[in-house]
Amino acid sequence: MPTNRRWGYASALALTLVAAIPLTAGGCAEEEAPEGAGVNGQPATDLDGDEALPGSADEHGATEPGAARPEQAADVDGDDLQAGVSVDPSAAATPAARACGTRTPTRAEAAHTEKRLDETRTLASAAPPAIITIPVAWHVINKGPGTGNGNVTEQMITDQMDVLNEAYAGDTGGAATKFRFELLSVQRVTNADWFNMGSGSLEEIEAKEALRVGGPETLNIYTANLLGGLLGWATFPDWYEDYPLDDGVVLLHSSLPGGSASPYNLGDTATHEVGHWLHLYHTFQDGCDKYNDYVKDTPQEGSPDFDCTESRDTCSAAGMDPIHNFMDYSDDDCLSEFTPGQAERMLTSWQTYRR
Ligand SMILES: [Zn+2]
């Protein structure tokens, strides 16, 4: 299964694909998942998760490269294909519920990743590394002055950095990871086209090609008005080698602390997306499956929790659903922790792919 997700894919197919196979991939969105649908409200078509074709969704609702999200599939004439979206931008301001479109790896991809991580674990068993401070290059994509136009304030960015540092230090509960974050730069760009950004859109590609800085160790965060009800999306570390310009995290500007996207305005969309950027999967990724999220100390979870449902237990395996885990789907004020296993996985992946 090729891992091509944007570069080349979008440019090669942009003018030929129609709405059934839009350009999106890897969107970590927060949108309402219709009951009975896949994780992202998508139909389950690929039962083993490793044979999905572009434009299909696996049983976990994860978008494959070029896969359609429901709101994009509605664009049957494809006339908005250049923009990669077909929705009214104003309608995407405040998502109704959290759902994430960060592309779930296929079983084959995940198996390859696990092999690489296990090799690192074998090599890196000596001295535990010190704290790793990740430089953050922030790109504020806006359409004019004022927070309503996406021109988030310095205070919002500072507060977001604090939320990240507290979460990854374990200050809100759960495990302390090795990661801290330091703001390297803030770049403000006024571009009305880029501002209304769809996942996998040409606007995203153009913006990242123009703005991204640093190597695999630099966390590039882009804030914009994300279409289709998305709160954000991220790339995984093992994608960097093939698609370095794609690497980074995209956030809905109003999801920052103090933003208007309540109840997703306490900054934990960034915590979640950075978790993906550091190689965490959703806690419900493979459902009640032995692989689940490839982290042993996160109990299996059959489906995302949207409502902070205490004592929720969707799988017969031991452990209640990890509803407070940053990689689940509830409101920001419900999410508070990573597990030691997640902290270890992020560190191992860093040592494998990002240092
Ligand atoms: Zn996610």
Query: Residue 114 is inside which H or E element, if any?
Result: helix 107-123
Average confidence (pLDDT) over 178-202: 97
Q: How far is ligand 1, taken at its centre, from the CA of residue 100, in Å?
A: 4
Tell me the average pLDDT of the chain: 78
Predicted confidence at residue 100, as pLDDT, reads 62
DSSP 8-state code for residue 171:
T
- Say how far apart CA 309 and CA 76 lie, in whole Å: 37
Asked, for residue 131, whether it belongs to a domain, the answer is yes
Which of these is catalytic: 59, 64, 71, 273? Answer: 273
Predicted confidence at residue 126, as pLDDT, reads 55
Share of the chain above pLDDT 70, in %: 72
Asked, for residue 200, whether it belongs to a domain, the answer is yes
Strands 132-142 and 219-226, by their bridges, are parallel
Place 56 in a pLDDT band, splitting at 50, 70 and 90: very low
Asked, for residue 80, whether it belongs to a domain, the answer is no
> Which comes out higher in pLDDT, residue 76 or 303?
303
Residue type, 166: E
Asked, for residue 47, whether it belongs to a domain, the answer is no
Asked, for residue 212, whether it belongs to a domain, the answer is yes
- Say how far apart CA 284 and CA 253 lie, in whole Å: 26
Query: For the whole model, what pTM was predicted?
Result: 0.76
Q: How far is ligand 1, taken at its centre, from the CA of residue 101, in Å?
A: 6
Domain containing 267 equals: 121-281+327-354
The beta strands (E) that lie in the chain are given as: 132-142, 179-190, 196-197, 219-226, 232-234, 249-252
Q: How far is ligand 1, taken at its centre, from the CA of residue 148, in Å?
A: 25
Asked, for residue 348, whether it belongs to a domain, the answer is yes
Predicted confidence at residue 96, as pLDDT, reads 78
Task: Provide the number of structural domains found in the chain.
Answer: 1
Residue type, 285: Q
Q: How far is ligand 1, taken at its centre, from the CA of residue 28, in Å?
A: 5
The pLDDT tens digits for 248-271 are: 999 999 999 999 999 999 999 999
3-class secondary structure, 317: coil
Give catalytic status of residue 273 as yes or no: yes
Asked, for residue 235, whether it belongs to a domain, the answer is yes
- Say how far apart CA 332 and CA 265 lie, in whole Å: 7
pLDDT at 41 over 50: no
Residue 225's CATH number: 3.40.390.10
Asked, for residue 214, whether it belongs to a domain, the answer is yes
- Say how far apart CA 238 and CA 100 lie, in whole Å: 19
**Cα angle 103-106-111, degrees, rounded to a multiple of 5:** 125
